[in-house]
Amino acid sequence: MTHSRENGRRPLLEVRQLVKHFPVRRSLGDALRRQPHLAVRAVDGVSFAVAKGRTLALVGESGCGKTTTGRCVLFLQEPTSGDIIVNGQRVDPHDEAAMRLRRKQLQIVFQDPNSSLNPRMTVSQTLGEALAFHKMVDVSNRNQAVNELLETVGLSGRHAGRYPNELSGGQRQRIGIARALAVNPELVVLDEPVSALDVSVQAQILQLLERLRDERGLAYLFISHDLGVVRHISNDVAVMYLGVIVERAPTGTLYERPLHPYTRALLAAAPVANPRLRRERPPIFGDPPSPLSPPSGCRFRTRCPFAAGRCAQETPVLREFEPRHWVACHFAENFRSSAGTT
């Protein structure tokens, strides 16, 4: 299974079999009794590719591993195993020079506007530091560069001297975006960039992100728990559950013809702003299992209305069901015929 050639272009970012386990410390008693080491299997074998200028959305609920995946792509977390390949090259995280270059290629925007900016630094200091560190402009041009960055994200030079606590949530998020753009990245990981904002401001930021992408040819890895938010901005969507990708498809296809039972449940669960479309019953029962010991075989089987014996014994592999539509379910065949959701 490779995603290497999409439209004949080599992808900008390729992630292969990414695994990230967080070991849980054993107590002395457990160690003496030789209990096995436990680990939170946050990401358990994830592969995908993002082509230049395209947006891949990584969607799932809490605990599915999407945030950890985003962090590993930037080496903010060191992967337990797997490859992160940018423009065809693997990078050794201990190679400082190569990592510096990598930092300019891949950037990140965080979820929480309140903690993503240093409260003791003005906007101009935060942005200026990034520009200076990567030598994006020389000293004499720095102020101008800061102002240009501010204008790019819909603010102005008069915001440069402000401290974060003088700005609104939406404005802070714009600064976070400006900071990421300061180094002219090729791909930006967006980690729930609008989840902490008011609805009326969310749309502003989404519009901004779209405009920036179109103007600069940026690729996005858009991480979100909200299927609604990603529909308009993403080209492809990958749905994650408990550390693995269960379905991946171009956006329209995923929303119109979802094949994995979890995707279908996720789509059905999102409340729609239309009182005439009320659900009779919630589409899914129970709570997600613990990532310390995911169920054998298919991880979703404990909540899947269609689970059968085979699901417990055999782990379904992510296979290309239709062109560019990948599903990890033994019975995907059966869902193809039923109508799509809403």
Site for other proteins in 25-64 (CB under 8 A): 61-62
Number of residues that bind other proteins (CB under 8 A): 77
- Contact status, residue 113 vs residue 202, Cβ threshold 8 Å: no
Residue 91 contacts other proteins per CB under 8 A: no
Nearer to other proteins, 74 or 150 (CB): 74
Q: Helices in 156-246 by DSSP H: which ranges?
A: 169-181, 199-216, 227-233
Question: Which of 81, 89, 168, 313 forms a contact with other proteins (CB under 8 A)?
Answer: 168
Residue 166 contacts other proteins per CB under 8 A: yes
Q: Which tokens sit at 281?
A: 């019953």
Residue 201 contacts other proteins per CB under 8 A: yes
Residue 291 contacts other proteins per CB under 8 A: no
- Contact status, residue 114 vs residue 120, Cβ threshold 8 Å: no
Task: Find all residues with CB under 8 Å of 134, minimum gap 6, and list them.
Answer: 100, 103, 104, 182, 183
Query: What backbone phi and psi angles, to 5 degrees, belong to 179?
Result: -60, -40
Nearer to other proteins, 5 or 279 (CB): 279
Nearer to other proteins, 17 or 132 (CB): 132
Residue 216 contacts other proteins per CB under 8 A: no
Residue 78 contacts other proteins per CB under 8 A: no
Question: Which of 11, 170, 258, 294 forms a contact with other proteins (CB under 8 A)?
Answer: 170
Q: How many CB atoms lie within 10 A of CB 320?
A: 12
Closest CB 113 distance from other proteins, rounded Å: 9
Stretch that binds other proteins, among 6-14, 141-149, 201-209, 214-222 (CB under 8 A): 201-209
The footprint of other proteins on residues 238-257 (CB under 8 A) is 252, 255
Question: Which of 274, 309, 337, 339 forms a contact with other proteins (CB under 8 A)?
Answer: 274
Q: Which tokens sit at 22?
A: 């967080």
Stretch that binds other proteins, among 145-153, 264-272, 308-316, 325-333 (CB under 8 A): 264-272
Question: Which of 91, 137, 145, 203 forms a contact with other proteins (CB under 8 A)?
Answer: 203
String of DSSP letters for 268-322: HHSPPS-GGG--SS-S--S-PPPTTSPPSSSGGGGG-TT--HHHHHSPPP-EEEE
Stretch that binds other proteins, among 101-109, 138-146, 211-219, 320-328 (CB under 8 A): 101-109
Residue 276 contacts other proteins per CB under 8 A: yes
Task: Find all residues with CB under 8 Å of 119, minimum gap 6, and list them.
Answer: 163, 164, 165
Q: How far apart are CA 153 and CA 177, in angstroms?
A: 7
CA atoms within 13 A on the CB side of 105: 18
Q: Which tokens sit at 275?
A: 């009182």
The footprint of other proteins on residues 103-132 (CB under 8 A) is 103-104, 107-108, 110-112, 115-121, 129-130
Nearer to other proteins, 31 or 270 (CB): 270
Amino acid residing at 217: G
Q: Which tokens sit at 274?
A: 């239309």
The footprint of other proteins on residues 296-335 (CB under 8 A) is none
Closest CB 285 distance from other proteins, rounded Å: 7
Task: Find all residues with CB under 8 Å of 342, minimum gap 6, and list them.
Answer: 267, 268, 272, 277
Nearer to other proteins, 3 or 160 (CB): 160
Question: Which of 28, 32, 199, 339 forms a contact with other proteins (CB under 8 A)?
Answer: 199
Nearer to other proteins, 132 or 312 (CB): 132
Q: How far apart are CA 232 and CA 250, in angstroms?
A: 12
Closest CB 127 distance from other proteins, rounded Å: 11
Task: Find all residues with CB under 8 Å of 135, minimum gap 6, and list them.
Answer: none
Residue where the block lists tokens 């560190």: 133
Residue 76 contacts other proteins per CB under 8 A: yes
